[in-house]
Amino acid sequence: MSSALLAIGRRRTTAERRRDRERDIIRATRGLFDERGTIDAQIDDIAKRVGINKALIYRHFAGKEELFALTLVDYLGELDERLSQTDNPRRTPLNRLRRLSEVFVDFCLEYPAFADCAMSLLRRTGEELFGEITEPVMTKLGTAMATALERIAAILKAGQRSGVFDEVDTDYLANHLYTQTLGSLHMARVGLIVSSGQPGHPVVHHADVATVRATAITATLATAVGRKALPKRSSRAGEKS
């Protein structure tokens, strides 16, 4: 075998080892997320779980935000697999959306760190993200999000064609429903709701997870139906609404 072919073989092996190491780091990060949450998952702990020096992590990832973004990509990949296995085009659009909403909500409840990680990135501006995450990783993240969102957008389009859902831009609405659900599930994550008691003495209650789940799913369906659920206004001039 020529020296050139040997060199190519060595480069390929090095690239494979690098990809394997990156997968190990992402797998360890997700494991810590699921055990402790995103706040308590530190780079030192991730490195220990993989069995490497933490300096090696920064050879593979630009920083903590980039590692978290790729971990979110891993979550989104699993979520999309579940959505794909569940969706049935033979169902009515309303039932399709309900079923996918149930899967999404249950995924968030099963993996609270997924919702935390997703919300932490949504709170950042685009300028901040591009300052901390390299373009190839941003592309991976955007592709993973778009794949899941396109499933929702396709159902919204079907519902609009059948006259069930509101005539709103489906790409926008899919993104809105994604963000809306993540925000709703934060209540289950916190586990608390506040109401008024005596003046100056608010009352804190436990948030029932089943109620949060049902409300989040209902909110998705209600938002998709939108103005279709409102009574039609009379066109007669001068009539007050």
Domain 66-228 has CATH 3.40.50.970: no
Mean pLDDT for the stretch of residues 128-135: 81
pLDDT more than 90, % of the chain: 40
Q: Where do the structural domains in the chain lie, given as residue ranges?
A: 18-60, 66-228
Residue burial 138-164, b: 16+ Cβ < 10 Å; e: rest:
bebbeebbeebbebbbbbbbbbbeeeb
* Alpha-carbon distances, residue 128 vs 61, 86, 131, 178 (angstroms): 16, 35, 5, 21
What pLDDT score was predicted for residue 241? 44
- Range with the lowest mean pLDDT among 51-55, 69-73, 150-154, 187-191? 187-191
* pTM listed for this prediction: 0.81
For the chain, how many residues are written? 241
What pLDDT score was predicted for residue 234? 54
Mean pLDDT for the stretch of residues 156-177: 96
pLDDT tens string 68-89:
888 899 999 999 999 999 999 9
Amino acid present at 100: L
What CATH number belongs to 18-60? 1.10.10.60
Confidence of residue 47 (pLDDT cuts 50, 70, 90): confident
What pLDDT score was predicted for residue 188? 79
pLDDT more than 70, % of the chain: 90
Mean pLDDT for the stretch of residues 20-48: 80
Confidence of residue 236 (pLDDT cuts 50, 70, 90): low
How many CB atoms lie under 10 A from the CB of residue 190? Answer: 10
